[in-house]
Each structure stands twice: as C-alpha cells, then as structure tokens.
Amino acid sequence: MELISGKIKETREQVKEWKRQGFTVGLVPTMGYLHEGHKSLMEAAKKENDKVAVSIFVNPIQFGPKEDFASYPRDFDRDAALCESVGVDLIFHPVAGEMYGEDFCTYVDMDGLTKELCGKSRPTHFRGVQTVVSKLFHIIPADRAYFGQKDAQQLAVIKRMARDLSMDIEIVGCPIIREEDGLAKSSRNTYLNKEERQAALVLNRSLAEGKKLIEAGVRDAAQIKQRIEETIGQEKLAKIDYVELVDFADITPIGNLSKAKEGEVLCAIAVFIGKTRLIDNFIWKGFGD
C-alpha cells in the first residue's frame, strides 16, 4: 500500500530517505481525477525508477477568475485506487493552505514561451503552473518528472524552467493517450454531454487534416492552419480559441515549417465545445533534415 501524505515535511523526509538508500525517484505531478493518460505517466515512471511519487493537487493559482477551479472534477478515493493498481509508492495530496500560506507572494514566471497559445487566453496560467511545479520539485526531489504531450506548451515551459533555473531533474515527455475514437484523454471530458462528446471528435479530425498536408509536402503554416480551421468550422458546437503552428523549440509562430530551429514544429489547437475548452496537438519532427 502506498503512503498518502498531505504534509510537505513528511513527504520531503520520505523522499530524502529513499535517496539516502540509493533509490531513484520518479515524480508524476497531477491535478487528480486520473485517467489512462495519467496512468501511462505513472507506468513510465515505474519502469524507469525504483520509487514513484504522484502529487494530486488542484492548483488554484493556475486558474483564472472565470475558469473552472470550483467545478474541476475531484475523486481522491478513485485516484488512490488507480495509483495503487500501478504500484505508486507515495501520493502527495496537500490542501491549498499547505502549499500557499496566507502571506504567500513568490512566483516563478517566464518570458517568451508563455506568451503564445494558451498563454494568450490564459495570461496567468503558466505562472501558476511554474510556481506549483517548482514547489513540487523542491518538496519531492525526484530524479525524473513525467508530463504528457497533450499539454505540449506546458511540457516545453517546464523543460525550459528546469534548464534555465539549473534544476537537478530530468523532464520526461510522454505521448498523448487517446480514446478509441481519437479524442485525447482529459479530466475535462467529463463536462461533455453526449452530443458535445461526439462533436469533440472534430479536434483530432482537424489535426489529421493538417498532417495530411504536411505529408503531401506543404510547408506553409498559413495553408495548414486554414485547413484545420475549415474542418473545425464544419462542427456547429465548436468555437475556436486558437489554431497555431509554432517552433517547438521556443513556442514562437513559424511561417515556413522547414525553418524550425531544432526541426520540430508544434501544431496546437484549443477549441470550445459548448462551454468546455479542450486542447489537442501534434508535434512533427524532422524538418530541415
């Protein structure tokens, strides 16, 4: 049975004891309501480390004032059972007051990578993400931390934060896990009614159209973006937040895909299906080879 702790001191001491014993530690930061995507991260961590810690914390400072913090799905007993089934060794499940005291006033922020994509419509989001992840890295001094590619901008931001701040941890990106019909696994999928759930398939379908153009040799980002937007526009319940192609190295807009600095282009979309905002993406590698 895994250890469940809501206290920073107790959690830190347990992980330090593992390190003293020579164990490697993998960390999977989550906001709970775990699904197959989270499970894949835990399994990757289990495979590559002696001990696995999972944090379950709905982080209030990464939500905007009109976002879904209060209604974000929570089911700790279900989450704990999933963690146990994978063989997780430690669940860190703090309350907000444990993470952020009344006089909390220190944040981690970044220029550049956080300005595009989700950073445009959620201007304080990544400051909240970086701050909580930085705290988790200090509370749980793991060897590796695991993040899903579904939140590709977040993955890029955390990698850069760890590099820029000389954090002694390896950031591991893991593939998007999808439902059988192609919808990316997300805790927010539970918000969708039956009609909206069907409409949400337009996200993956539109990305597939973008991939077809790239496979056909198209390198003009505007042309690919137009095809994706046209496909999404065919679904009456869908409203585009953004469709963007960016250089994955620094999350900056790119015109010609062949110009990607490290040969990787991120095609990312955010779409409202009814009131639910969903994201999806693909990363195309090998440009400039």
Helix (H, G, I), strand (E, B) or coil at 269: strand
Choose the catalytic residue: 35, 38, 93, 125.
38
- Helices 202-215 and 221-233: angle between axes, nearest 10 degrees: 150
Contact criterion met (CB below 8 Å) for 225 and 268: no
Phi first, then psi, for residue 72 (nearest 5°) are: -60, 130
Report residue 157 as tokens: 């931001």
Cα–Cα distance measured from residue 204 to residue 210, given in angstroms and rounded to the nearest whole number? 10
Amino acid residing at 184:
A
Beta-carbon neighbour count of residue 234 at 10 Å? 10
Residue whose token pair is 């015109």:
255
Q: What is the DSSP letter of 220?
A: B
Contact criterion met (CB below 8 Å) for 270 and 241: yes
* Cα-based angle 69, 175, 272 (whole degrees, multiple of 5): 40
Strand order in the sheet with 25-30: 3-5, 90-92, 51-56, 25-30, 144-148, 170-174
Q: Which of 184, 281, 267, 265 is nearest to 225 (CA)?
A: 267
Does the annotation count 38 as an active-site position?
yes
Catalytic amino acids?
A: 38
